[in-house]
Each structure stands twice: as C-alpha cells, then as structure tokens.
C-alpha cells in the first residue's frame, strides 16, 4: 500500500481507550504508546501501574454501565476502542459501541462465542473441518455419566461457558471424570455449567497462535507459550497464567503458514459464512498431537500473560495495524515489523493466590529504568497515601528481552529480585523448555 494511505491512518489515530484492568491491557497500552502520533491512551478501569506508562491515564466513569463508557468515548473524542477481556466481549460491549458509531477492535457478541461457548466452538470446528478432539455435549448429569460409562475411559470435562479458566478438568481416572461432571452440574460455575462438553483426551506439546483480523483478512503474530499451573514442574492448580515466552520456537515460519491455512483462515471464513464480521484477535490454543495439530480452545482476545511477552516484539506500526483492523481495512496498514528478540514474562502473584488471595500489601519496586525490562501491573492499585498496593491475585508481570531466552530469563529474574511485597511468589522455571540454565 502507498505511503500516503499509511500515514493517513497514523494521522487520524490520536486518542485510544483500552477496556480492562490487567497486565494485558497495560502491555497493549505500552506498545501503542511507542507510536509518536498517539496523544493519549485511556485505560478503563486500569490499575495502579497505568499512569507509569507514557501518555496513559485511568478512565473511571461514575457509573459502570456500558452507556456511561460510550458517553465518555464521545466526550473524549476517542478514535479507537480496544476491548481487552472476554467478559465484556461476550456481553456485547463491542456491538453497543459500534451501534453508537465508535471504531472498535474486539469481536461482537456473536463472534465472541468462539470463547464464550465451548459447545458453539466445537460445533463450529466440526462444520468447518478444523481439527479438534472428538466430543459429546450433555445437558444433564445423568446423560453425561451415561456417555462416560459407554466411553469407559477418563475424559476431559469442560463447562460450556466462561469460567475464568477454571472450567476444565483433564481427568486421570473415570472416578475423577464422574466427580468433575457432578461438580459442574451442581452449579459450581453457575449458568456457565448448564451444558457440559466431554472431550477425548489428546496429548502433545501446546502452543498458542494469534491473528489480528479485520473481518476478512488477517495477519499472524509470533507464537507464544504460557504456563497455566501454579507450581514448578507444571504442577498444582490451574491459574490465569504464571508466565510466558515468545516467540515459541516449537513451531517455525513454515509451521505457522501451515497452521494459518489449516486453522486460522478456515476459522475466519467459517465466521464469515455465519455473517459474523470478526474484528479482533483470534487466539487458537493448539496441541501438536502425533496425528497433527488440534485446536483445544479458542479465545476471542489476547491471552494474559502471553500478550505481555508478545508486545515488546511488536514494531511501532502496531497501533496502525490494530486501527486498520478496527476499520476493516487491514490492506491499508503498514507492514508490521517485529523486533528480533526473545521475550520472557514472569508473573508475580499475591499471597494465597489462587485459592484465597491476600490484598492490600504494599509493593516496593527498586528497579532502575532499563530499555529491555518492563513491569506490567495487573492486580495493583494506589492507596490514599499514594502507595502502590496489591489488589488482585496476579499482581504484576516482569518482562525482559534478550538475544537468547537464557539472557531474557536471567534479566527478568534479576529484575524480579528488586520487587517485593508480603507473600510474593512466582515460578522459577518459567520457560524451562527454552532455557539451558
Ligand atoms: P482450555 O481451557 O479448553 O484451554 O483447557 C485448559 C487446558 O486443559 C489446556 O491448556 C490443556 O492443557 C488441557 N486440555 C484441554 N482440552 C484437552 C484435551 N481434549 N485433551 C487433553 N488436554 C486438554
């Protein structure tokens, strides 16, 4: 595309609003802030680290309803809204904002079903020949137990709806599969558990791929890998994610092209067939099995903390690319360049996370600014005395870049030593797959 078109896109984009309060949103804001033409970035509600990011402030309308935030967008002449988390996407915030004339990066409620209903996503994959594990859908405990009995082997049991990453049990025994079925139908996840997906267990290394979509076209970002379990050696309970790294070397450029043809393009085409103009991130969580790659889940937004590891790899054009997607004009975007580093992200969690998170602890950060280290806040807030205190389970992530993963992780862990709060805990083995020490 021409220089002119690209600079027009840059010139228009001045004020951005990002919806969310986590590390993902802070890292997106940080990546966007590198673009010279952007004047102001608001994050709503944001967190205790929002104002540390250049050009960035929190936006907190008095009322929490969607109409209040739409009015604020109009008042502040916001050119682009980026919706970070899955819940507002599943509830239709992007629909309402587009109806009000705003330019939004994030799928409609209909598109967000890729993530908000596992049953919908599985049927969608079957319809579009996208490889995934075999499954059954069940609406009652009795029916689900009957399917399990007939199958005669442990299954993966999933609540259909959004369950903050906690609705999946990969069962080791039939007994455990039974318990997981009973637990979901007893109402543990509320309406998200009205339906249950019983899935065949598949095995293989996992990797996530991401595409930025404008409804018809897409571009693929470097792959990332996260660590969901709380404890070292991938043990303990599932969490929102304890760390990540990118680009994941498990797949190379050729594999990425193959996965784009096999999974990402059929996904976008399948959505178009359903008259869904999908603008936003398609995240495909994959398992590389002996019979080929299979999708284990879709997300309708960036993963957290994969996003924090990915953002430092994005060139300055990132803002224009996102904006072009939101306009449905990806062809007008400048080429997205990529920094050639290895990026490591380690999440520091609060005492008691994930079971019983302690809040209100003062956070001390004694880090000197370093061009290859970022601290992205998540569960933090500023108290009445201007101290930064913990306010959530995953408190912050430290991200570092290096020429190798060893260098990136050494720098990230060294930096983490200079951050402290009561009960801080993190995994020391994040990225063990790519580190030699
Ligand atoms: P999900 O929330 O669907 O991504 O599932 C959470 C985790 O459960 C995944 O990251 C996998 O490690 C595991 N998992 C999900 N589905 C399967 C499956 N069919 N077979 C084996 N493991 C699975």
pLDDT recorded at residue 209 = 93
In this prediction, residue 5 has a pLDDT band, given cuts at 50, 70 and 90, of: low
The confidence band for 355, taking pLDDT boundaries of 50, 70 and 90, is confident
398's CB contacts (< 8 A; 6+ apart) are 345, 346, 348, 373, 374, 375, 412, 415, 416, 419
Distance 374 CA to ligand 1 centre (A): 30
Confidence of residue 9 (pLDDT cuts 50, 70, 90): low
Q: What pLDDT was estimated at residue 3? A: 55
Q: Whose CA is nearest to atom 16 of ligand 1?
A: 296
Whether ligand 1 lies within 6 angstroms of the CB of 199 is answered as yes
* Residue 247 alpha carbon to ligand 1 centre in Å: 21
Average pLDDT of the residues of the chain: 94
Task: State the closest ligand 1 atom to the C-alpha of 118, by its place in the atom list counted from 1.
Answer: 3
Atom of ligand 1 nearest to the CA of 202: 20
Task: Copy the structure tokens of residue 69.
Answer: 């935030």
Q: Does residue 7 register a pLDDT over 70? A: no
Overall size of the chain counted in residues = 437
Question: Is 92's C-beta closer than 6 angstroms to any atom of ligand 1?
Answer: no
**206 in ligand 1 pocket by Cβ < 6 Å?**
yes
Secondary structure E strands in 279-341: 279-289, 292-299
User: In degrees rounded to 5, what are phi and psi of residue 280?
Assistant: 150, -160
Looking at ligand 1, which atom is closest to the CA of residue 201?
20
8 A C-beta contact, residue 186 and residue 160: no
Average pLDDT over residues 410-435: 97
Closest residue by Cα to atom 12, ligand 1, is 206
HSE at residue 89, side-chain half, CA atoms within 13 A, is 32
Ligand 1: centre distance to CA 356 (Å)? 24
Closest CA to 28 of 371, 301, 272: 301
Beta pairing, strands 40-45 & 243-246: unpaired
pLDDT of residue 260: 97
Tell me, what DSSP letter sits at residue 368?
P
pLDDT recorded at residue 62: 84
Distance CA 315, CA 248 (A): 18
CA distances (Å), origin 179, targets 144, 161, 183, 261: 11, 19, 6, 39
Place of tokens 């339906």: 195
Distance 415 CA to ligand 1 centre (A): 32
Residues 6+ apart with CB under 8 A from 305: 23, 24, 226, 240, 241, 242, 243, 244, 345, 347, 394, 397
Measured in angstroms, how far is the CA atom of residue 25 from the centroid of ligand 1? 25
CA 355 to chain CA centroid, nearest Å: 21
Centre of ligand 1 from the C-alpha of residue 150, in Å:
22
Token pair recorded at residue 31: 């990546």
Cβ–ligand 1 distance for 86 under 6 Å, the answer: no
Q: Give one word for 412, left, alpha or beta, with left for phi > 0 and alpha for psi -120 to 50.
A: alpha
pTM: 0.95
Exposed/middle/buried for residue 101 (C-beta within 10 Å: 0-12, 13-18, 19+): exposed
| Whole-angstrom distance, CA of residue 408 vs CA of residue 421 | 23
Task: Decide: 158 and 118 in contact? Cβ < 8 Å.
Answer: yes
How large a percentage of the chain has pLDDT more than 70? 98
One-character DSSP codes across 227-289: --EEETTTEEEE-S-SEEEES-TTS-HHHHHHHIIIIIHHHHHHHHHTT---EEEEEEEEEEE
Return the residue whose CA atom lies nearest to atom 18 of ligand 1: 201
Distance 193 CA to ligand 1 centre (A): 17
Please state, in angstroms and rounded to a whole number, the distance separating the CA atoms of residues 27 and 305: 9
Residue nearest atom 3 in ligand 1 by C-alpha distance: 297
Do 326 and 279 form a contact (C-beta atoms < 8 A)?
A: yes
The percent helix, strand, coil of the chain (3-state, each to 5) is 30, 25, 40
What does DSSP assign to residue 364? Answer: E
Alpha carbon 13 to its chain's center: 24
- Where does the pLDDT of residue 190 fall: very low under 50, low under 70, confident under 90, or very high at 90 and above? confident
What are 1's two structure tokens? Answer: 């595309």
pLDDT score of 4 more than 60: no
Share of the chain above pLDDT 90, in %: 86
Which secondary-structure segment (H or E) carries 150? helix 141-151
Tell me if 170 CB under 6 Å of ligand 1: yes
Please give the distance, rounded to the nearest whole angstrom, from the Cα atom of residue 296 to the centre of ligand 1.
6
Query: Which residue's alpha carbon is nearest to atom 19 within ligand 1?
Result: 201
User: Which amino acid residue places its CA nearest to atom 9 of ligand 1?
Assistant: 296
Summarize the confidence of residues 321-335 as an average pLDDT.
95
Q: For residue range 211-263, what is the model confidence (pLDDT) as tens digits?
A: 999 999 999 999 999 998 999 999 988 888 999 999 999 899 999 999 999 99
- Cα of 263 vs centre of ligand 1, distance in Å, is 17
Residue entry with tokens 């502040």: 76
Band of the pLDDT at 329, cuts 50, 70, 90? very high
């Amino acid at each position: 595309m021409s220089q002119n078109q690209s600079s027009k896109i840059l010139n228009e984009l001045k004020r951005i609003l990002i919806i969310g309060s986590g590390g993902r949103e802070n890292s997106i804001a940080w990546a966007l802030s590198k673009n010279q033409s952007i004047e102001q970035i608001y994050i709503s509600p944001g967190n205790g680290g929002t104002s540390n990011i250049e050009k960035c402030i929190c936006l907190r309308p008095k009322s929490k309803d969607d109409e209040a935030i739409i009015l604020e967008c109009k008042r502040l002449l916001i050119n682009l809204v980026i919706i970070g988390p899955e819940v507002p996407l599943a509830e239709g915030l992007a629909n309402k904002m587009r109806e009000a004339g705003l330019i939004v990066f994030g799928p409609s409620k209909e598109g967000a079903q890729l993530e908000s209903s596992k049953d919908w996503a599985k049927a969608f994959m079957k319809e579009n020949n996208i490889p995934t594990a075999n499954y059954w859908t069940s609406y009652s405990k009795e029916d689900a137990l009957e399917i399990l009995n007939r199958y005669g082997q442990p299954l993966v049991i999933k609540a259909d709806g959004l369950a903050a990453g906690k609705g999946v049990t990969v069962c080791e025994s039939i007994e455990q599969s039974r318990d997981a079925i009973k637990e979901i139908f007893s109402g543990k996840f509320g309406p998200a558990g009205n339906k249950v997906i019983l899935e065949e267990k598949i095995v293989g290394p996992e990797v996530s791929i991401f595409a930025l979509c404008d409804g018809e076209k897409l571009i693929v970002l470097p792959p990332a890998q996260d660590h969901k379990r709380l404890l070292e050696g991938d043990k303990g309970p599932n969490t929102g994610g304890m760390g990540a790294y990118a680009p994941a070397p498990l797949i190379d450029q050729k594999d990425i092209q193959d996965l784009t043809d096999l999974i990402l393009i059929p996904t976008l085409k399948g959505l178009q067939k359903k008259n869904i103009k999908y603008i936003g991130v398609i995240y495909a969580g994959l398992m590389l099995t002996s019979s080929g790659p299979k999708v284990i889940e879709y997300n309708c937004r960036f993963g957290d903390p994969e996003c924090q590891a990915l953002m430092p790899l994005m060139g300055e054009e990132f803002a224009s690319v996102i904006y072009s997607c939101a306009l449905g004009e990806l062809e007008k975007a400048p080429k997205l360049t990529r920094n050639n580093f290895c990026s490591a992200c380690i999440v520091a969690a609060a005492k008691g996370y994930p079971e019983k998170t302690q809040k209100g602890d003062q956070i001390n950060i004694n880090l000197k600014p370093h061009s290859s280290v970022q601290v992205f806040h998540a569960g933090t807030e500023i108290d009445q005395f201007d101290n930064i205190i913990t306010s959530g389970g995953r408190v912050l992530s430290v991200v570092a870049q290096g020429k190798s993963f060893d260098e990136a992780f050494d720098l990230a862990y060294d930096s983490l030593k200079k951050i402290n709060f009561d009960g801080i805990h993190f995994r020391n083995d994040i990225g063990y797959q790519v580190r030699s020490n």
